[in-house]
Amino acid sequence: MSISLKGPHALSFDALQRVLPKGRTGIFALGYVDSDGRFRVQSVGRDDYDVRARLSELIGSSTMFKFAVMPGSREAFEEECALFHQLRPPSTIIHPVRPRGTNWQCPHCLQLSL
């Protein structure tokens, strides 16, 4: 599965309020738009409960973000893993951690002890 991220959007309170529903599971990429107009990913992440709230905490750490709302925690974990392995973001050096209380494996490296 490979999800298309929406954006980029400015990482600001107003943009988050406008484009992201409250209380939804989701994944995100933080970065910037280069001089050629391409979005350059610096880090990736997810929130299993409220991705808008998580991104609100990160305002000031990056200028732009992309996101996708996910149907549940498992899908969010698997997509965050996909972003981590495919994009190799320079500011995300630690493999995504599976949600507490699960034994899910990364579908890309089959790592279990996350």
Distance set, CA 30 to CA 8, 10, 107, 110, 111 (Å): 9, 10, 22, 25, 24
Distance CA 58, CA 97 (A): 18
pLDDT one-digit tens code per residue, 90-100: 999 999 999 99
pLDDT confidence bin for 40, thresholds 50/70/90: very high
Q: Which CATH number among 1.10.3860.10, 3.40.1440.10, 3.90.1150.10, 3.40.50.300 corresponds to the domain 6-87?
A: 3.40.1440.10
Each domain of the chain, given as residue ranges in start order, spans: 6-87
Strands (E) in 1-114, as ranges, are 6-10, 26-33, 39-47, 64-69
Residue 114 has pLDDT above 70, yes or no: no
Q: What is the pTM of this model?
A: 0.92
Q: How much of the chain exceeds pLDDT 70, in percent?
A: 95
